[in-house]
Amino acid sequence: MNTIIQNILVFTTMGFAVLFLLKKYFGKKPKSKKACGGDDGCGCH
Amino acid sequence: MSKQINVALIGNPNTGKTSVFNALTGLNQKVGNYPGITVEKKEGVCKLPRGVKAHIIDLPGTYSLNASSLDENVVIELLLNKNDKDYPDVAVVVSDVENLKRNLLIFTQIKDLEIPTILAINMSDRMKYKGISLDIDYLEEQLQTKIALISTRKNDGIDRLKELIANYRDLSVSACLDPSEIDKPYFDALRKAFPNQLIYKLWLVITQDVNFGKTDRKEIDAIASFKTKTSGDLKRLQQRETIKRYQFINNVLKKGKTIDVTQAKDLRAKLDKVLTHKVWGYLIFFFILLLIFQAIYDWSSVPMDFIDETFAALSEWVKNTLPSGAFTNLLAEGIIAGLGGIVIFIPQIAFLFLFISVLEESGYMSRVVFLMDNIMKRFGLSGKSVVPLISGTACAIPAIMATRNIESWKERLITILVTPFTTCSARLPVYLIIISLVIPEGRFLGLSYQALTLMLLYLLGFVSAVVSAYILNKILKIKSKSFFVVEMPNYKLPLFKNVALTVIEKTKSFVFGAGKIILAISIILWFLASYGPGDNFNKAEDIVTKANVSNNLSDEALQQKIASHKLKHSFIGIAGHAIEPAIRPLGYDWKIGIAIVSSFAAREVFVGTLATIYSVGNDDEDTIKNRMAKETNPVLGGPLFTLASGISLLLFYAFAMQCMSTLAIVKRETNSWKWPVYQLVIMTAIAYITALIAFQLLK
């Protein structure tokens, strides 16, 4: 029983870690209207 | 119910605007991840008298509303867009008492936009040293505003400033300059074509190259009854506007500000003579760098040892206390070991930022910028490139964003491309752990070899950046104009509050920004190192026990062999062995290879990765450094981390573009994938070749 619970916790933690990294590097970020970057259409370029 | 008002802090660079922001907001501020200089907006909340709350925005430093760089555009865009949620109810123009004339230019421009404006005259404590006296009543009358004479150093006048902000509705919004004085026929025609618009705002819309939302230049050009002038004519009118404004300011200050030179006790000129001297200036800067790196090593050894031992003990405690099983192992070997690999570097990072902050606060950093301009221009860079290059010691991302104030596109592009060579704080953990393993602890002229090595690596980063800039300057065929203006602030004792806030902010962003990534990667690596496919992994105990049946191994040695066998056949072991042929010529084993690959997300992950892998492959609870020192080279025998492999690794990390976030920001700032791809390929090639040469020569 203890082994099953420990394994469930490990796989859940692993899932959260993978999701976090995927979201961090491949997730879409909301564009800030205030930003003045190269491609945000702020008209400064 | 309390009301919240928007307050914009505006002013020339180096007027102490950020100190005023800190004095008003204290710890109630949201500071971006951008050390060194203000590029993006900083926001905070301040409680004012009578329950009024103020949302304070610290805008980038700018000399006027005639923008010449990207960060100055932020100020103009906000002030001209009433629909912006941050549009100020009141503007506070922070000026420096010694440079009031120049500081008042932007004050008069903002006043003419009919925004309630307060003049905060900072550094009032310096008035007695400079023999300056101000007739505040006269200035308030002439400038039609309220003035707060403040000293953020002495914390004087801040309450008066808060009182004035709370009573902003009492401020006059009448203009300082009638635009018709610039060119009557032109402004009369403008007024006639747009009877309901504020003329000075229209004038800024016409003359500035920024986006103003609904009122843009096309709309103005579309009006048949009004024709804008040619750009040459507009420039001449802008010059005439500036002259008119200075005439007004001169008249006001003639009576409002007096300087008694006999009272002045000026040390600045004498110090400048030495600190910007063409020989002494460089020697002093070099000596200061030496002191900083020595202090980083000497002062942080005790807290670092304490943290290292605490994490080792915590890991052991978790293993002994919690029920044994996979999750307990994940906590002890994955999470705690991985986090320990980053927390251990907090003391050194905090000390580094402490020194950088003190140098900036004291006014010395501006002298370094001035000094370096002589060198920079020979390599195709601007004096302003020094700021990103120095900021790059914290993180390349804000440093690359800080290039926005470089007017020449060619110089800006070159600075963006070479900044990742400077030693960022993410490299620091890698350098520190490798140096402590392969560089002896002896001293030379009182300076430790380890501190000297660290300083050499910082210098190597800077020299690589400058040499690359020289090459790029020759290769890139882009024509653009360049000029350099640097503000020389007064020397002052650093404010403890400002220094402390900088150190806390930078350390926090390092730990929490990188910490989350490191934690996630540590968990995944532990998983990949603890599970594997096939019988070689699943029946490791049987295989190893059978193979060693005649060797009479102790139980401990047998367990060690089983752990090692499992690691070799785990998912990570299989992947590591696949890439080993490519990295073996550099003196690395497959574990280092995995650490290099995983640290592509962020360099500091390298140490956390090794800590996790070595934890899984070793049953002893030991410090990270000791575990690494015990590793043996599978091919050559002997310790894995020798002088040859250590220097090879140091050089690899000095040159490699191991940072996904930096590549993303380069793409954003250059609006092209071409430049980040060049950076990645060229920097990785340089890193590989130099590491290869170093190992082959030293082994």
In the predicted structure, residue B12 carries a pLDDT above the cut 50: yes
Residue B70 lies in a domain: yes
Tell me the residue ranges of DSSP E strands in B143-259: 146-149, 257-259
Handedness of CA A24, B605, B602, B356 (dihedral sign): positive
Contacts of A13 in chain B (CB under 8 A): 327, 330, 523
Please tell me which of the candidates A16, A18, A37 has its beta carbon nearest to residue B668: A37
Query: Hey, what amino acid is at B272?
Result: D
Candidates A3, A6, A8, A26, partner chain B, best to mutate (most B CBs within 10 A)? A6
In the predicted structure, residue B212 carries a pLDDT above the cut 60: no
What does the alpha-carbon distance between residue B207 and residue B621 come to, in Å, rounded to a whole number? Answer: 68
What digits encode the pLDDT tens for the residues B439-451?
Answer: 988 888 778 889 8
pLDDT tier, B94 (very low <50, low <70, confident <90, very high otherwise): very high
Looking at the 3D structure of chain B, how many domains does it have? Answer: 2
A22/B contact by beta carbon, under 8 A? no
Residue B505 lies in a domain: no
What does the alpha-carbon distance between residue B235 and residue A15 come to, in Å, rounded to a whole number? Answer: 60
Domain boundary among B234, B261, B288: B261
Chain position carrying tokens 């599978």: B634
Chain A, chain B: beta-carbon pairs less than 8 Å apart: 77
Residue B487 lies in a domain: no
Task: List, in order, residues 6 or more apart from B678 with CB less than 8 Å away.
Answer: B417
Chain B nearest C-alpha distance from A25 (Å): 8
Task: List, in order, residues 6 or more apart from B658 with CB less than 8 Å away.
Answer: B596, B599, B600, B602, B603
Cβ separation A36–B70 shorter than 8 A: yes
Mean pLDDT of B37-52: 74
Candidates A12, A25, A33, A36, partner chain B, best to mutate (most B CBs within 10 A)? A36
pLDDT tier, B95 (very low <50, low <70, confident <90, very high otherwise): very high
CB B193 within 8 A of CB B223: yes
B360: Cα separation from own chain's centroid: 13
Mean pLDDT of B546-560: 77
Mean pLDDT of B475-497: 73
Please tell me which of the candidates B209, B323, B523 has its beta carbon nearest to residue A17: B523
Least confident of B21-30, B443-452, B488-497: B21-30
Domain boundary among B205, B228, B261: B261
What digits encode the pLDDT tens for the residues A1-45?
Answer: 578 888 899 999 999 999 998 888 777 655 444 433 333 333 333
Paired strand residues for B148: B120
What's residue B265's pLDDT?
Answer: 63
What's residue B28's pLDDT?
Answer: 60
What's residue B420's pLDDT?
Answer: 93
Least confident of B112-116, B206-210, B289-293, B320-324: B206-210
CB B613 within 8 A of CB B436: no
pLDDT tier, B417 (very low <50, low <70, confident <90, very high otherwise): very high
Residue B478 lies in a domain: no
B195: Cα separation from own chain's centroid: 46
End-to-end CA distance of chain B: 73
pLDDT tier, B311 (very low <50, low <70, confident <90, very high otherwise): confident
Write out the residue range of the structural domain in which residue B23 sits. Answer: 1-261
What's residue B619's pLDDT?
Answer: 54
Cβ separation B519–A13 shorter than 8 A: no
Contacts of B83 in chain A (CB under 8 A): none
CATH of the domain at B227: 3.40.50.300
Measured from the Cβ of residue B196, the count of other Cβ atoms closer than 10 Å reads 4
Least confident of A9-18, B329-338, B401-410: B401-410
Residue B345 lies in a domain: no
Domain boundary among B217, B232, B261: B261
In the predicted structure, residue B40 carries a pLDDT above the cut 60: no
What's residue B334's pLDDT?
Answer: 81
- Structure ipTM: 0.75
Least confident of B119-128, B399-408, B448-457: B399-408
SS3 call for B514: helix
Residue B323 lies in a domain: no
pLDDT tier, B675 (very low <50, low <70, confident <90, very high otherwise): very high
What's residue B514's pLDDT?
Answer: 67
pLDDT tier, B93 (very low <50, low <70, confident <90, very high otherwise): very high
Cβ separation A7–B327 shorter than 8 A: yes
In the predicted structure, residue B403 carries a pLDDT above the cut 80: no
What's residue B492's pLDDT?
Answer: 80
Which tokens in the block code for residue B230?
A: 């040619």
What proportion of chain B, given as a percentage, has pLDDT over 90?
20
- Structure-derived torsion over alpha carbons of residues A34, A38, A43, A45, reported in degrees to the nearest 10: 140
Residue B456 lies in a domain: no
What proportion of chain B, given as a percentage, has pLDDT over 70?
88
In the predicted structure, residue B227 carries a pLDDT above the cut 80: no
Alpha carbon of B1 to those of B163, B165, B663: distances in Å?
19, 18, 47
Q: Which residue has the higher pLDDT, B684 or B131?
A: B684
What digits encode the pLDDT tens for the residues B229-248?
Answer: 676 777 788 888 888 898 89
What digits encode the pLDDT tens for the residues B354-365?
Answer: 888 888 888 888
Which tokens in the block code for residue B161?
A: 């400033």
In the predicted structure, residue B222 carries a pLDDT above the cut 60: no
Mean pLDDT of chain B: 82
What does the alpha-carbon distance between residue B238 and residue B323 come to, in Å, rounded to a whole number? Answer: 76
Cβ separation B660–A25 shorter than 8 A: yes
What's residue B30's pLDDT?
Answer: 59
Mean pLDDT of B612-627: 66
Residue B173 lies in a domain: yes
